[in-house]
């Protein structure tokens, strides 16, 4: 995964610059450019990986990480409510992660996905969901009806609570498939930097799609 992240760094930077410069049309163009760049790097790099793995891994890294961060930029750019929207999702996901861990440690008995992440439990998932919905509601309540209605806040919290563990499990699955424990060495002993943002990389797009559906 470290090699995947290294190869994808240029394409990731290109995607974020494209999002700021020209919106989603340019983002799509940057993804196509990443495919071409991945083929070029495969041709000049000395690697034992097959073309499918090398190119597919690079494109996956850019799409997964890049689109997640692009969605964050879109949230922050919302007129009037951008700052509230961005901070609300960060606080809600962190609260959900914390309560999922605490509840799982205290009363967790039933494994959520034992083959991917043995430490996660259904009890922890329920605790994290309650915390995420509650914190989302509280964080956005001040702007109720101006931004989202109370019903939409609750639905948004549920959507974020579902997306967060999916992002966590997705990254865990990639690490298991790669045979590594840490995604990088930037944060030693904590699974790597992707472990800190894996849930958010799924949550940001889910949040943006929800707001799109809500007409925002």
Nearest-angstrom CA–CA distance, 41 and 57: 12
Residue 121 has pLDDT above 90, yes or no: yes
What's the confidence (pLDDT) of residue 175?
78
Cβ(68)–Cβ(201) under 8 Å? yes
Nearest-angstrom CA–CA distance, 204 and 67: 9
**pLDDT tens readout for residues 63-112:** 777 778 888 888 888 888 888 888 899 999 999 999 999 999 999 899 99
- Whole-number mean pLDDT of the chain? 78
**pLDDT tens readout for residues 153-199:** 999 999 999 999 998 998 888 877 777 666 655 555 555 677 778 88
Cβ(140)–Cβ(160) under 8 Å? no
pTM summary value: 0.77
> Domain locations in the chain?
1-77, 80-216
């Amino acid at each position: 995964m470290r090699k995947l992240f290294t190869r994808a760094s240029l394409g990731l930077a290109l995607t974020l610059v494209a999002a700021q410069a020209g919106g989603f049309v340019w983002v799509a163009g940057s993804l196509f450019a990443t495919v071409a760049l991945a083929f070029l790097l495969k041709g000049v790099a000395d690697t034992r990986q097959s073309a499918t793995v090398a190119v597919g891994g690079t494109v996956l890294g850019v799409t997964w990480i890049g689109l997640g961060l692009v969605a964050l930029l879109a949230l922050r750019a919302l007129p009037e409510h951008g700052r509230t929207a961005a901070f609300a999702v960060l606080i809600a996901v962190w609260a959900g992660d914390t309560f999922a861990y605490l509840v799982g440690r205290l009363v967790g008995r039933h494994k959520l996905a034992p083959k991917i992440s043995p430490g996660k439990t259904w009890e922890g998932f329920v605790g994290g969901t309650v915390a995420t919905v509650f914190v989302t509601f509280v964080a956005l309540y001040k702007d109720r009806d101006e931004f989202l209605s109370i019903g939409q806040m609750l639905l948004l919290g549920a959507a974020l609570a579902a997306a967060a563990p999916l992002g966590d499990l997705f990254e865990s699955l990639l690490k298991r498939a790669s045979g590594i424990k840490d995604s990088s060495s930037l944060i030693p002993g904590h699974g790597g930097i992707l472990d800190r943002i894996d849930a958010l990389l799924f949550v940001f797009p889910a949040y943006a799609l929800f707001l799109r559906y809500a007409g925002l």
